Structure 1
Amino acid sequence: QPVQREPTRILWDPIMAEKGGYRHFMLKEIYEQPRAVTDTMRGRIVPESGNVVLPDVNLDPAAVRGIRRIVLLACGTSYHAALVGRSMLERLAGIPCEVDLGSEFRYRDAVVGPDTLVVALSQSGETADTLGAVKAARAKGTPLLAITNVVGSALSREATGVLYTHAGPEIGVASSKTFTATMTACYLLALYLGRQRGALTAEEGRKRIQELLEIPRLMEATLELDAPVAELARQLFHFQNFLYLGRGIHYPIALEGALKLKELSYIHAEGYAAGEMKHGPIALIDEAMPVVALTPRDHTYERMLGNIEEVRARDGKVIAVAHAGDREIAAKADHVIAVPPAVDLLSPILMVIPLQLLAYHMAVRRGCDVDQPRNLAKSVTVE
């Protein structure tokens, strides 16, 4: 008698193994962020002395003391990391900083010279506009530091010094772990310059390093928001427009949150400095435009509460990303995403995680290709 067997379809493939059990590379990489931040600081901090060791930046003490200005160049998500980095560098190193889009800097006659440190940020190290900006700066005799994730990339070869992020390979087109690793690298650079220039004492350096060492643990705790954020996405995925608001060092996180939503779910989203809401975007707010408000307990807190009240007065739906235990926010917002408190300069590393998760789950709900969104490339190598 012939043997009858039901065919079994094997759904496993090698790509699934690389995803480590996660549904998408993007989600896997979001969860890898605590490790990426740990690896970026590994071997570079000396907690006992409050020092940061960055030999590959190739800046001798005299060169560090001679820096009068820093210009950060980047595109896309790296530009948002550079905006966060500006606050870190100015606060910890006491050096005036500017941030410029690579695509804009290269086409104007920017004033830079030997006493300007240009810091170019690029996940891939191959971004055409950033490389073009770097070459324009180098032609004026400017020392150049690259912050990148790829060893041997074009940017690392063009630069006079390099600071690698050690985030590991990132497969998802939309950046996640390289963003938080780049912010960590900016913080290390700020501590390094601050200690070298005497802007930070040894005691202050030790304190700042201890605060940084706490961040991976707090990131792990923040990732526990995955399930509630997925439920929030279920309630929001049908909306077609979003406004993201932030102030101070969290304004770039509003920009990044809006960018992630656009990239992954193809929903129109704008990131705005919350103080600028009344200068235009407030005209758009109604019940059909949810507002994501970054509301940590820092010096901008009261002003952010005012923004939330303005949104509520116009029937807007408020999703607040706030510190855990904040009852005042809970009473005012329609939804609260509660993240662990952290010092203000490092808070963006935590605050961006629920925004990444929200964009991811919204995209999944809408049936989008999370790992390879339409019309996008991991490395933008054309102008």
Structure 2
Amino acid sequence: MSLALPILDDLPQRPKFAQGPRSLSAVKLLRLSLTDRCNLRCVYCMPDDGVTFYDHADLLSADDIVAVAAAAREAGVTHFKITGGEPTLRKDLVELVRRLAALGPEDLSMTTNGLRLGQRGGQLAHELREAGLDRITVSLDSLDPQTFGKISGDRGFTLEQVWAGINAATQAGFEKLKLNVVVIGGVNDHETPDFAALTLEHPWTVRFIEYMPLGESTLTQSLLGANTFTVDNQQIIQRIEAQHGPLVSVHRDREPGVGPAQVYRLDRPGVVPGRLGFISAMSQPFCETCNRLRLTARGELRACLFDGGEVDLLPTLRSNDDPQPDLIQLMARCVAEKPETHSPRGNRAMSQLGG
């Protein structure tokens, strides 16, 4: 009697219950990158000498973006996330939000560095709210002005300007903001308890994101090597608990959006306005439950932030009077090319993919 022995594999394995990610029916979120341009040069996003931005003529038009979003809605996608580069640099942003909201998604959100939200008395934040934007996520990697400048590339923008944008967003009605913190070892990881303390005073979700080496950036080019900067979120949890006490788990369904974060709150009787999220793409890859696709500003549909499944939608958008059926087929093809588990390092820069 012979026995079939299992093949040993030390890579993360897909659980049997995983619906996807190679099924289009599993996709719930489409990230829409409106531009590759950004007013910052964050060290985890771009190299020291910056990147060459595409000509405006090479980027998707508003009609193109809406056409892809409409096809996604028809295919069952329920959530849209507007990204960049920095999406507030796009002049037709408010009108695009209005047109995307008209498609009836369950949730329409935007990730921004917040710098332009506080300009002109916060007018942009109010216009976005009135146009139908549901939520705003602000990228904020330090609470210290000097460290903020160091991470953001010393472009002359200040932490004070970001706080002005956050205040403008809350005044416009975006009360339950999310703050994204990319944790970089030896740079800002010591600040994580201070970030966690913000949730005792505000109804925000502060999300700690493990640094992910993507494309060519100041950090990936560092002599220290990319792995030096990645801090396991379990270490961050321990550091926060050492200062604030044990964290209390929050059921993921109670957190808006369909992201991969594990959600907690600080345990304070009678004081639970905010939450903490942990996105652990490096230490605990969640590829087997990935529910998103990414559209770059040039029309490439991307199945994975790191690698795999890139399909060019632009030819279909520009040569077809009714592109929706073909776009849905291309989405299904893209999802089918998702990797089992993403590679240790991404092959394109964050600014080119929209996060």
Higher normalized contact order (CA 8 Å, seq sep 6+, divided by chain length): 2
Structure number, greater radius of gyration: 1
- Give the TM-score normalised by the residue count of structure 2: 0.29
- Give the TM-score normalised by the residue count of structure 1: 0.27
